[in-house]
C-alpha cells in the first residue's frame, strides 16, 4: 500500500535531530560499547544539583539509581475482554516461577503490578532488559512478551510512559452533550447503528508527537472504556513529524485493531488548521477534547535505558529544544477546545524543557489557561511538585540569574523567556501542580508532566485585540466566518492551505459513496446487517477494489474534510481482503489481523461456533499446506460446516474463564474448504489465542527459544514464517527499535 520512495523522504522537518526522547536511534544498532559507556557526566551533576529538582538529601540515591539499568515494564492492553485472562496468565504462569531467581546484583527478582495503573494491567519486574535477553531462565518471559507484543495484547512500555494518558482522562463521550442530530449531519451518516453509536460515544483526541505510539494505543483503549461489545465512535489523530517513525505508528495501529485512528505526518508546531462537519453540514474548525503533547526532548530521564545520553548530555541540549517545545505546546492549545485538557510531558528532568514552557504559555495567555491538579488520576504514584526557580546554563557550564547577564554569543540560545517567573507569577501559575517523577523513588525512568485546562479561546498578550473589541480572534472565527478562509490568532502559524506533501506518497483514501457492486456480494455472503457501507474505504481508484478498510464515522468525517490539506499516512482497519481465484461465491475474505473483532457484531452468516477442543485443534494446525480435516472436529461443528459453501468463515469460541466475570468470545478467521478447515491467523495471533484457550503453546515457544539460544528452529526461521508486519512488530517488541518513553 502506498508507493514508498525512500529517496524522497524529505518531510521538511529535522525531527530526528530534535531528539525524540526515546533514544531516537530508529532501530539502528546500538553502539558496540553500549554497556561500557561511562555513566557519569560532571556537567549533568552540576546542572541538576544547582536546579534543585532533586531534594538535596536524595542526591546520592538519585545519581546511583540513574547509573543502573532500567527494569522491564509492560502493560496488558486494556480494552479487550481478553486482557483479564491474559493478566491471569501473566501472574500464574510467567511471573510466578522466579521464586529463587536473582538479579545480577544478587537481589531477588520481584514482579510487581504498578499500583497506580488500573486493574493490575501494568507490571514491572526488576530484571533488566540485558538480563532478560541474555539468560535462558528468563527466556520464556521474554518470548511471551515478544509474541504478545507482536499481536498487540501487550505493550512494552516504560512505566513512566504510561502516565500521561491516565492523567489526560480520556473518556469515550466528551461530546455526549452535543445534540444527536448535529452529530448526524456531522458524520452525514444516518443509519440506525451509527445513530445509536454517535449518540453516546464521540471524543476527539490529538496526539501531537505520537511515534512510536505506545501512548496512542492507551488513548485508543480509553475511547472504549472497557466496553468492547460496541464500536467506539471517538477518534484519535496521531501525528509525528518524522515520516519513518509514522510507519512505526502504523505497525502499532495494526496491532491495536482500531477503526478510530488516523495517522498524520506534520511538524506539530505548525499543524494545519483542520475542519469537521458542523451542525448544518457546514465546515467548522476542528478542535479537540483532549490533546497529548509528548514533545521531543533531551531525554535525560531515559539515561537508565538510553545509556548513550550520558555521553551526549550537555547544558545546551534543553535550551536548544525549548523554542520547538513551546511552539508545539502552543499549537496544541490552539487546537484544544475551551474546557478541554492538554497534557504536556517530557522524559527530561530539565526545568527549561518543563516548567519554563508552562510559564511561557501562562504568561502569553493570561486568564486562558490553568494548570490543574491531576494527582487523583494516578493514586499511589509518588511525584515531586514542579519547581518555581531555576537557572539557565550555557554549554560552557555557566549559570545566569537574569537575561541581562547572557553574553552575546549565547543570546540566541538562552532567551529571556527561559528564566523563572517572579514569586507572584509563580504563585498564580500553580507550578506546584506539575508532576516530576524521580527515578530513585519507584525504580523508573525520570519524567515530567502537567495537565493544562483551556479556560477560554486563546488571546495572546503579545498580539492583543486588534480593534479594541473584547473578543478573541478565535471566537470571531468560530462565530462569524467559515473556518477555511479565516486566519485567526489560533491559526496564525498555519501554513497555506494547498500543501505539497513530501515523504512516502500514500495512496488515497476513497470511501464508498454508493453501494459498490462488491459490497452487495459481501453483504449477502456474510449476512452483514447494520454496517453502513459508507464507512468502508479502499485505497485504489479502480473499479475492482482490493482490500476494504473500515473506519468509524468521526474518522470518515476527518478524512472527507481534511484529506487535501492534512498529510494522512494511514487510517482504517483491514476488514475484507480480496481473494480472487479461490473457489468461493465471494471474492473477499475476512481479515483476522485487524478487522474480525470489529466486524463480528455485524455478521449473521458464516459464523461457526466451536467447542474448546475444536478451537484448540484448529489453532494447533499451523501448517496451512496441511489443513485440518472436518472429520477431526466434533459432530456439531461438522454439521454446521456442512451448511456452508466454500469460503471465508469466522470461528468463534465462547467461554467463561477463571477469574473473569463475563463471557469471553474469541474469534478467528478461517476458511471452509470442501472437506477441511484452516485458520487464517498469523503466528502471534495463533499463539495468543491458544494461550487464552488454555492450550499448549510450547511448540511455538520452543521454536523461538531454540532460535534465540543457538538451535535453529526446523525451518531455520525464528519468527516461524512471520509476516512482514509481524517482523516489523517484532522489532519494536524486541526493542531493536527502542520502546517509547
Ligand atoms: C518523546 S517521542 C514521543 C513518544 C510517543 N509519544 C510515545 O509514547 O510512543 C517524541 C516524538 O516527537 C517527534 N517529533 C520531533 N519533532 C517533532 C515535531 N516538530 N512535530 C511533531 N513531532 C515531532 C519525534 O519523531 C518523536 O517520535
Is the same domain home to 317 and 448? yes
pLDDT for residue 671: 92
pLDDT for residue 497: 55
Beta-bridged to residue 72, according to DSSP, are 125
Is the same domain home to 692 and 726? yes
pLDDT over 90 (residue 150): no
Annotated ligand binding at 211? The verdict is yes
Is the same domain home to 277 and 370? yes
Annotated ligand binding at 605? The verdict is no
List pLDDT tens digits, range 607-650. 999 999 999 999 988 776 788 999 999 999 999 999 999 999 99
Residue 43 lies in a domain: no
Is the same domain home to 110 and 183? no
Which atom from ligand 1 is nearest to the alpha carbon of 14? 16
Residue 59 lies in a domain: no
List pLDDT tens digits, range 286-300. 999 999 999 999 999
Residue 646 lies in a domain: yes
User: In sequence order, which residues have a C-beta less than 8 Å from that of residue 363 and are 6 or more positions away?
Assistant: 417, 421, 425, 461
Torsion over CA: 360, 166, 234, 278 (sign): negative
Distance CA 286, CA 566 (A): 12
Structure-block grid coordinates of residue 259: 477503526
Q: Is residue 627 within 8 Å of residue 673, measured between CB atoms?
A: yes
Is the same domain home to 359 and 429? yes
Q: What is the CATH number of the domain that holds 372?
A: 3.40.50
CB atoms within 10 A of CB 142: 24
Which atom from ligand 1 is nearest to the alpha carbon of 296? 10
**Candidate ranges 189-193, 505-509, 524-528; pick with highest mean pLDDT:** 524-528
Q: Check residues 738 and 397 and name the one with the higher pLDDT.
A: 397
Confidence category of residue 65, pLDDT binned at 50, 70, 90: very high
List pLDDT tens digits, range 645-699. 999 999 999 877 666 667 788 888 999 999 999 898 888 888 898 998 888 888 7
Cα-to-centroid distance, 615 and ligand 1 (Å): 42
Is the same domain home to 113 and 1? no
* Order of strands, sheet of 71-76, starting from the edge strand that comes earlier in the sequence: 111-113, 122-128, 71-76, 154-156
Cα-to-centroid distance, 41 and ligand 1 (Å): 26
Residue whose CA is at the smallest distance from ligand 1 atom 26 = 20
Residue 508 lies in a domain: no
Q: Which residues are known to be catalytic?
A: 347
629: phi then psi, degrees, rounded to nearest 5: -75, 140
User: In sequence order, which residues have a C-beta less than 8 Å from that of residue 578 and are 6 or more positions away?
Assistant: 545, 546, 547, 587, 588
pLDDT over 50 (residue 513): yes
pLDDT for residue 496: 38
Is the same domain home to 100 and 191? no
Q: Is residue 606 within 8 Å of residue 644, measured between CB atoms?
A: yes
Is the same domain home to 422 and 293? yes
Cα-to-centroid distance, 20 and ligand 1 (Å): 5
Mean pLDDT, the chain, rounded, equals 81
**Candidate ranges 23-32, 472-481, 629-638; pick with highest mean pLDDT:** 629-638
pLDDT over 50 (residue 267): yes
Quick one: average pLDDT of 406-416? 94
pLDDT for residue 183: 38
Residue 172 lies in a domain: yes
Which range among 391-395, 403-407, 505-509, 554-558 shows the weakest confidence by mean pLDDT? 505-509
Quick one: average pLDDT of 443-467? 84
- Whole-model pTM: value is 0.86
Quick one: average pLDDT of 28-34? 48
Q: Check residues 575 and 468 and name the one with the higher pLDDT.
A: 575
pLDDT for residue 738: 32
Torsion over CA: 318, 319, 320, 325 (sign): positive
Residue 703 lies in a domain: yes
HSE (CB half, 13 Å, CA atoms) of 37? Answer: 22
User: Domain range holding 84?
Assistant: 68-157
162: phi then psi, degrees, rounded to nearest 5: -80, -10
List pLDDT tens digits, range 562-592. 998 999 999 998 899 998 777 788 999 988 7
Q: Check residues 203 and 436 and name the one with the higher pLDDT.
A: 436
Which atom from ligand 1 is nearest to the alpha carbon of 211? 27
Which range among 23-27, 71-75, 495-499 shows the weakest confidence by mean pLDDT? 23-27
Annotated ligand binding at 267? The verdict is yes
CB atoms within 10 A of CB 490: 27
pLDDT for residue 707: 54
Confidence category of residue 135, pLDDT binned at 50, 70, 90: confident
Is the same domain home to 429 and 314? yes
Cα-to-centroid distance, 344 and ligand 1 (Å): 12
Task: Please list, residue by residue across 457-488, b when 16 or more beta carbons sit within 10 angstroms of its beta carbon and e when fewer do.
Answer: bbbbeeeeeeeeeeebbbbbbbeeeebeebeb
Annotated ligand binding at 407? The verdict is no
Is the same domain home to 141 and 18? no
Residue 227 lies in a domain: no
Quick one: average pLDDT of 448-468? 78
Residue 562 lies in a domain: no
Distance CA 694, CA 621 (A): 16
How many domains, in total, are found in the chain? 4
Which of 23, 210, 290 maximizes ligand 1 atoms within 8 Å of its Cβ, making it the mutation to test the pocket? 210
pLDDT over 50 (residue 436): yes
pLDDT for residue 500: 61
Bridge pairing between strands 336-346 and 288-294? parallel
Distance CA 226, CA 220 (A): 11
pLDDT for residue 483: 34
pLDDT for residue 584: 86
| Ligand 1 first shell, C-beta below 6 A | 13, 15, 18, 20-22, 161, 209-215, 240-242, 245, 267-269, 294, 296, 324, 328, 740
Residue whose CA is at the smallest distance from ligand 1 atom 13 = 209
Residue whose CA is at the smallest distance from ligand 1 atom 1 = 21
pLDDT over 50 (residue 190): no
pLDDT over 90 (residue 272): yes
Which range among 315-319, 373-377, 504-508 shows the weakest confidence by mean pLDDT? 504-508
Is the same domain home to 384 and 426? yes
Which range among 321-335, 340-354, 620-634 shows the weakest confidence by mean pLDDT? 620-634
Bridge pairing between strands 261-264 and 235-239? parallel
Q: Is residue 221 within 8 Å of residue 248, measured between CB atoms?
A: no
Q: What is the ipTM of this complex?
A: 1.00
Annotated ligand binding at 694? The verdict is no
Which atom from ligand 1 is nearest to the alpha carbon of 213? 9
Cα-to-centroid distance, 294 and ligand 1 (Å): 7
- What percentage of the chain has pLDDT greater than the value 70? 76
Q: Which residue, of 404, 438, 461, is where some domain finishes?
A: 461
Is the same domain home to 279 and 358? yes
Amino acid at each position: 500500500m502506498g508507493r514508498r520512495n525512500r529517496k524522497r523522504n524529505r518531510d521538511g522537518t529535522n525531527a530526528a535531530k530534535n531528539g525524540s526522547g526515546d533514544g531516537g536511534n530508529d532501530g539502528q544498532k546500538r553502539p558496540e560499547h553500549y554497556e561500557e559507556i561511562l555513566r557519569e557526566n560532571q556537567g549533568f551533576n552540576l546542572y541538576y544539583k544547582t536546579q534543585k529538582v532533586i531534594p538535596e538529601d536524595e542526591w546520592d540515591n538519585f545519581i546511583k539509581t540513574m547509573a543502573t539499568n532500567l527494569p522491564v515494564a509492560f502493560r496488558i492492553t486494556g480494552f479487550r475482554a481478553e486482557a483479564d485472562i491474559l493478566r491471569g496468565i501473566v501472574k500464574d504462569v510467567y511471573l510466578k516461577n522466579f521464586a529463587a531467581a536473582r538479579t545480577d546484583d544478587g537481589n531477588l527478582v520481584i514482579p510487581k503490578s504498578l499500583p497506580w495503573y488500573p486493574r493490575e494491567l501494568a507490571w514491572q519486574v526488576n530484571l533488566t532488559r540485558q538480563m532478560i535477553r541474555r539468560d535462558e531462565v528468563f527466556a520464556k518471559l521474554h518470548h511471551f512478551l515478544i509474541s504478545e507484543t507482536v499481536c498487540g495484547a501487550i505493550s512494552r512500555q516504560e512505566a513512566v510512559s504510561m502516565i500521561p494518558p491516565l492523567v489526560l482522562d480520556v473518556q469515550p463521550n466528551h461530546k455526549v452533550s452535543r445534540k444527536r442530530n448535529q452529530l448526524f449531519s456531522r458524520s452525514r451518516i444516518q443509519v440506525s447503528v451509527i445513530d445509536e453509536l454517535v449518540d453516546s460515544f464521540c471524543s476527539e483526541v490529538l496526539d501531537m508527537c505520537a511515534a512510536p505510539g505506545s501512548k496512542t494505543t492507551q488513548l485508543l483503549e480509553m475511547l472504549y472504556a472497557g466496553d468492547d461489545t460496541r464500536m467506539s465512535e471517538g477518534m484519535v489523530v496521531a501525528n509525528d513529524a518524522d515520516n519513518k517513525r509514522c510507519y512505526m505508528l502504523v505497525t502499532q495501529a495494526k496491532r491495536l485493531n482500531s477503526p478510530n485512528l488516523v495517522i498524520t505526518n506534520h511538524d506539530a508546531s505548525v499543524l494545519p488548521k483542520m475542519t469537521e462537519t458542523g451542525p448544518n453540514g457546514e465546515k467548522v474548525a476542528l478542535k479537540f477534547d483532549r490533546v497529548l503533547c509528548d514533545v521531543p526532548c533531551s531525554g535525560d530521564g531515559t539515561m537508565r535505558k538510553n545509556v548513550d545520553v550520558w555521553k551526549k548530555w550537555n547544558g545546551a541540549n534543553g535550551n536548544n529544544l525549548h523554542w520547538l517545545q513551546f511552539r508545539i505546546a502552543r499549537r496544541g492549545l490552539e487546537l484544544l477546545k475551551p474546557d478541554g485538557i492538554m497534557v504536556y510531558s517530557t522524559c527530561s528532568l530539565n526545568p527549561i524543557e518543563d516548567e519554563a514552557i508552562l510559564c511561557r504559555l501562562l504568561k502569553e495567555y493570561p486568564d486562558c489557561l490553568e494548570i490543574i491538579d491531576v494527582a487523583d488520576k494516578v493514586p499511589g504514584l509518588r511525584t515531586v511538585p514542579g519547581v518555581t526557580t531555576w537557572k539557565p546554563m550555557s554549554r560552557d557550564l555557566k549559570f545566569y540569574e537574569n537575561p541581562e547577564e547572557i553574553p552575546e554569543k549565547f543570546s540566541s540560545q538562552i532567551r529571556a523567556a527561559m528564566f523563572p517567573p517572579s514569586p507572584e507569577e509563580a504563585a498564580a501559575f500553580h507550578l506546584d501542580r506539575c508532576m516530576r517523577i524521580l527515578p530513585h523513588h519507584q525504580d523508573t525512568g525520570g519524567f515530567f508532566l502537567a495537565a493544562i485546562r483551556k479556560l477560554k479561546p486563546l488571546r495572546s498578550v503579545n498580539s492583543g485585540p486588534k480593534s479594541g473589541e473584547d473578543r478573541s480572534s478565535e471566537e470571531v472565527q468560530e462565530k462569524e466566518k467559515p473556518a477555511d478562509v479565516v486566519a485567526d490568532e489560533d491559526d496564525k502559524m498555519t501554513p497555506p492551505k494547498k500543501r505539497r506533501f513530501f515523504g512516502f506518497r500514500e495512496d488515497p483514501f476513497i470511501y464508498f459513496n454508493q453501494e459498490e457492486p462488491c459490497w452487495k456480494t459481501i453483504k449477502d455472503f456474510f449476512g452483514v446487517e447494520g454496517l453502513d457501507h459508507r464507512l468502508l474505504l479502499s485505497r485504489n481508484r479502480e473499479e475492482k477494489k482490493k482490500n476494504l478498510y473500515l473506519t468509524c464515522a468521526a474518522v470518515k468525517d476527518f478524512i472527507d474534510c481534511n484529506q487535501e490539506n492534512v498529510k494522512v499516512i494511514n487510517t482504517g482497519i483491514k476488514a475484507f481482503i480480496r481473494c480472487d481465484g479461490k473457489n468461493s461465491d465471494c471474492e473477499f475474505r475476512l481479515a483476522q489481523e485487524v478487522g474480525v473483532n470489529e466486524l463480528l457484531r455485524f455478521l449473521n452468516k458464516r459464523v461457526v461456533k466451536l467447542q474448546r477442543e475444536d478451537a484448540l485443534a484448529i489453532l494447533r494446525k499451523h501448517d496451512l499446506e496441511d489443513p485440518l480435516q472436518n472429520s477431526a472436529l466434533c459432530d456439531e461443528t461438522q454439521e454446521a460446516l456442512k451448511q456452508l459453501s466454500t469460503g471465508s468463515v469466522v470461528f468463534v469460541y465462547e467461554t467463561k474463564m477463571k477469574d473473569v466475570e463475563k463471557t469471553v468470545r474469541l474469534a478467528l478467521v478461517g476458511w471452509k474448504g470442501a472437506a477441511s478447515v484452516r485458520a487464517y491467523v498469523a503466528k502471534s495471533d495463533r499463539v495468543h489465542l491458544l494461550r487464552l484457550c488454555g492450550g499448549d503453546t510450547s511448540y511455538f515457544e520452543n521454536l523461538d527459544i531454540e532460535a534465540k539460544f543457538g538451535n535453529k528452529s526446523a525451518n531455520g526461521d525464528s519468527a516461524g514464517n512471520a509476516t512482514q508486519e509481524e517482523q516489523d512488530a517484532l522489532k519494536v517488541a524486541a526493542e531493536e527499535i527502542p520502546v517509547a518513553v
